[in-house]
Amino acid sequence: MTDFLVTVRRIVRMYEGTLRYVCEKYGLTQTEADVISFLHNNSGLDTAADIVELRGLSKGNVSQSVESLIQKSLLRRSQDTRDRRRIHLSILPEAAPITAEIERFRTMFKEQLLAGFTDEERRQYSQMNARVLKNSAAMTEKGELK
């Protein structure tokens, strides 16, 4: 279990490191880059609550970053038509160079991380990862560990 947790932490740190260049180039904080990256890569998950829950970022940091990105004309906020309390976030066209750069680094990161894996191993990894995610989601929903 220790090896698994160390691996997860190392992968997260490495991914965050890949975004540093984007942050420096475009004058973004790490959390602002995380918000843009999350919204770009997770269609249908477009609220601050989604980002907080799935990226494990603090509510305050996400809120501050969203506000900053709106001020920088990179994000837009819109009210849900059915639930006025729910606010959706969308990336504006002005952020296209940033999302392209993030995508380039994300692809490069993935290729480096899975270097030497065959197509079959990548498929198996994807299936196992999906199962681990499903199990962890079930544990979270129940609020208990099995």
Nearest to 7, CA basis, from 138, 106, 132: 132
**Element housing 79 (H / E):** strand 75-79
Residue 96 has pLDDT above 70, yes or no: yes
Cα–Cα distance list, 22 to 26, 101, 129, 131 (Å): 6, 7, 27, 32
Query: Is 51:41 a contact under the CB 8 Å cutoff?
Result: no
- Any idea which of 12-26, 67-81, 92-106 has the lowest mean pLDDT? 12-26
Tens of pLDDT along 64-73? 999 999 999 9
For 95, residues 6+ apart whose C-beta sits below 8 A from its C-beta are: 36, 74, 75
**Pairwise CA distance, residues 140 & 142, whole Å:** 5
Tens of pLDDT along 40-50? 999 899 999 99
Query: Is 47:57 a contact under the CB 8 Å cutoff?
Result: no
As a whole number, mean pLDDT of residues 76-93 equals: 92
Report pLDDT for 75. Answer: 97
Nearest to 109, CA basis, from 46, 39, 35, 41: 41
